[in-house]
């Protein structure tokens, strides 16, 4: 099944100039980038994006981190793109991520974990439309 998913390359990774290396891992996994831009979220935008986690103890810290620097948001498309990208990313906690995954290779800790990916088709739809208009979906 061909799916779309939303990817965010987080501020810890853009700060270390890792966008190219991470996008290379994504493309080598067979995922196609069909939309992409670099943005710097406001606090309000980060809090709105992660609203589903608003009751979690890490919410304030996570959203401060996500607006601390630029991020690269992209739409990835491919066969089972949602689970496929989650495999490429590795576990949320880099200590538990498999070797060769983005998070095992680059993440600093469970919060500064370099990348985000949608976790279901419903979430992917909401997250993609949060960042991209119809006009920006070229691919």
Catalytic site positions: 116
Minimum distance, C-beta of residue 53 to ligand CMP, in the bound complex (Å)? 6
If 0-12 CB within 10 Å is exposed, 13-18 middle and 19+ buried, where does residue 21 land?
A: middle
The span from the first CA to the last CA of the chain, in angstroms, equals 17
Residues that bind ligand CMP (CB under 6 A): 53, 58, 62, 92, 110-111, 113, 116
Residue 129, H or E segment: helix 121-131
Tokens of 127: 């997250």
| Of 92 and 105, CB closest to ligand CMP | 92
Minimum distance, C-beta of residue 130 to ligand CMP, in the bound complex (Å)? 13
Q: How far apart, in whole angstroms, are the C-alpha atoms of residue 58 and residue 62?
A: 6
Minimum distance, C-beta of residue 109 to ligand CMP, in the bound complex (Å)? 8
Count H helices, E strands: the chain?
Answer: 7, 4
| Of 37 and 134, CB closest to ligand CMP | 37
| Of 83 and 92, CB closest to ligand CMP | 92
């Amino acid at each position: 099944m061909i799916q779309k998913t939303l990817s965010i390359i987080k501020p810890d990774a853009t700060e270390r100039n890792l966008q190219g290396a991470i996008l290379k891992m994504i493309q080598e996994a067979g995922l196609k980038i069909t939309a992409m831009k670099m943005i710097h979220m406001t606090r309000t935008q980060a809090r709105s994006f992660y609203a589903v986690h608003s009751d979690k103890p890490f919410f304030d810290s996570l959203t401060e981190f996500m607006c601390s620097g630029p991020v690269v948001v992209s739409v990835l498309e491919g066969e089972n793109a949602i689970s496929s990208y989650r495999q490429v990313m590795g576990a949320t906690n880099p200590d538990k991520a498999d070797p060769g995954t983005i998070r095992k290779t680059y993440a600093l800790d469970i919060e500064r974990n370099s990348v985000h990916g949608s976790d279901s088709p419903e979430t992917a739809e909401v997250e993609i439309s949060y960042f991209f208009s119809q006009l920006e979906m070229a691919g």
